[in-house]
């Protein structure tokens, strides 16, 4: 169901049926067809005092209206049953006065009965007890949890990152955040092939998708983010092997562009790859803090880290847990690839990306303290959102942080 400002909600337990309705005090009934139930209609309660209205609006005198107090609407008549609500008679007063109209079900009122005091309300259901508790705790010193506090799982994830993270040939490489040092991974190749066949069916309906995906895979190969495995390499059996089904996502702002995603939440023999890994602590800098700081300076500065996830290499021992399959368009033969870089889709990827991003910034903290602050405090994932006092300082900032920044005065 959709309302204003693209507000939507799903009614998964909705029931559809036909019902009979009648006007208040009437005996004749009419069918409402294809009525859908909702969990809570939630419309505001209304009160109508007919005696007062007739004194205030003389044109309503003599119309058989009935008073009601705190009545909550229980049914909305949709356009598929609109014939029941079509006005047969209308009684109008002055320009802003309420209008009385008669339909098959009887007389009703439309418009405001208090022209000078009109309220527009958008009702929603909220867990007010939970909200109140959160607000109270926000003012309570004892409830503040130190930012250094980590769960046991989070501490283990950070231990793995500290132990495996290193820099080689200009790129950081890390190990995946395994819960067990020697995980026993089930067979996953057949499920990946099955999902590939589903993707091929989609490509048969939209042939241009093949070229878009092929371009992305070739780009991964060209930049060394992935390798295609030969027949000889496929015979070898690394310790940890998992085949990730691939799918594509669309950006509504870039309808012609697709993003390749590796599905680590796909089950194989009852298990999924993410089950075997720690998610890791949330190292994301709060968006509210980034946006509040952005409002301070006169000059806006925006940028991003290009291919942030793919810039991070995965250790050889873990890379084969990121295999995926594609196919040759001419021969239909299945091709097997392994991602040498971090993929979109694995649950621990955000934690690893933020850890490496901040570790890289830490390396240059003494050399470029402003760059360190910008990367650790003014980035939300890979997006840089900052503001500076004047244009001279902004040019200096651009030289420190590098090219690719969009700089403009705020309006």
CA angle (67, 69, 71) in 5-degree steps: 105
Residue with tokens 């295999």: 323
Tell the burial category of 260 from Cβ atoms under 10 Å away from its Cβ (0-12, 13-18, 19+).
Answer: buried
Write the pLDDT tens digit of every residue in 210-250.
Answer: 999 999 999 999 999 999 999 999 988 888 999 999 988 87
Per residue in 247-284, pLDDT tens?
888 777 777 788 888 998 888 999 999 999 999 998 88
Phi, psi of 272 (to 5 degrees): -130, 155
Mean pLDDT of the chain: 85
Tell me what pLDDT residue 408 has.
47
pLDDT in tens, 81-136: 989 989 999 999 988 889 999 999 999 988 876 655 555 555 555 565 666 666 66
Beta-bridge partners for 107 = 102
C-alpha–C-alpha distance, residues 90 and 137, integer Å: 56
Higher pLDDT, 375 or 128: 375
Confidence of residue 289 (pLDDT cuts 50, 70, 90): confident
Q: How confident is the model at residue 4 (pLDDT cuts 50, 70, 90)?
A: confident
Instruction: Reply yes or no on whether the pLDDT at 10 is more than 90.
Output: no
Structure tokens at 258: 């697709």
pLDDT at 7 over 90: no
The domain ranges of the chain are 13-110, 175-409
The full DSSP string for 17-69 is EEEEE--TT----EEEEEEE--S---PPPEEE-HHHHHHH-GGGTT-----EE
Q: Mean of the pLDDT values across residues 375-385?
A: 89
Residue whose entry in the numeric block shows the structure tokens 């240059």: 364
> pLDDT class for 143, splitting at 50, 70, 90?
very low
Segment 144-201, tens digit of pLDDT: 444 556 789 999 999 999 999 998 888 899 999 999 988 889 999 999 999 999 999 9
Question: What is the Cα–Cα distance from 121 to 149, expressed in whole angstroms?
Answer: 42
CA dist 368 and 55 (Å) reads 77
Q: What is the pLDDT of residue 142?
A: 43
Partners of 398 in beta bridges: none
């Amino acid at each position: 169901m959709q309302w204003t400002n693209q507000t939507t909600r799903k009614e998964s337990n909705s029931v559809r049926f036909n019902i009979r309705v009648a006007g208040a005090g009437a005996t004749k009934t009419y069918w409402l067809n294809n009525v859908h139930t909702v969990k809570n209609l939630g419309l505001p309660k209304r009160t109508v005092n007919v005696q007062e209205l007739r004194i205030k609006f003389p044109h309503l005198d003599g119309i058989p209206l009935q008073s009601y107090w705190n009545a909550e609407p229980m049914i909305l008549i949709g356009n598929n049953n609109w014939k029941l609500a079509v006005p047969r008679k209308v009684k109008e007063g002055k320009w802003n006065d309420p209008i009385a109209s008669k339909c098959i079900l009887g007389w009703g009122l439309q418009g405001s009965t208090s022209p000078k005091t009109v309220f527009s309300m958008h009702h929603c259901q909220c867990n007010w007890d939970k909200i109140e508790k959160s607000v109270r705790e926000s003012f309570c010193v004892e409830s503040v949890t130190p930012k250094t506090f980590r769960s046991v799982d989070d501490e283990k994830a950070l231990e793995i990152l500290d132990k495996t993270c290193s820099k080689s040939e200009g790129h950081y490489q890390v190990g995946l955040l395994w819960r067990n040092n020697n995980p026993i991974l089930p067979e996953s190749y057949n499920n990946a092939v099955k999902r590939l066949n589903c993707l091929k069916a989609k490509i048969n309906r939209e042939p241009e998708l093949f070229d878009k995906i092929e371009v992305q895979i070739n780009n991964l190969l060209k930049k060394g983010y992935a390798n295609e495995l030969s027949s000889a390499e496929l015979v070898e059996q690394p310790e940890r092997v998992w085949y990730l089904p691939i799918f594509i996502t669309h950006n509504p702002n870039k309808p012609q562009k697709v993003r390749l995603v590796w599905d680590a939440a796909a089950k194989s023999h009852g298990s999924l790859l993410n089950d075997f890994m720690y998610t890791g602590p949330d190292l994301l800098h709060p968006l509210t803090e980034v946006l509040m700081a952005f409002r301070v300076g006169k000059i806006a500065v925006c940028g991003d880290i290009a291919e942030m996830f793919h810039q991070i290499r995965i250790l050889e021992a873990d890379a084969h847990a990121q295999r995926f399959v594609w196919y040759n368009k001419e021969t239909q033969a299945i091709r097997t690839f392994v991602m040498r870089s971090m993929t979109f889709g694995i649950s621990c990827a955000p934690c690893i990306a933020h850890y490496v991003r901040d570790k890289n910034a830490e390396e240059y903290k003494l050399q470029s303290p402003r760059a360190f602050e910008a990367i650790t405090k003014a980035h939300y994932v890979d997006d840089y959102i900052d503001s500076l006092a004047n244009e001279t300082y902004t040019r200096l900032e651009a030289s420190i942080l590098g090219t690719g920044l969009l700089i403009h005065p705020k309006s």
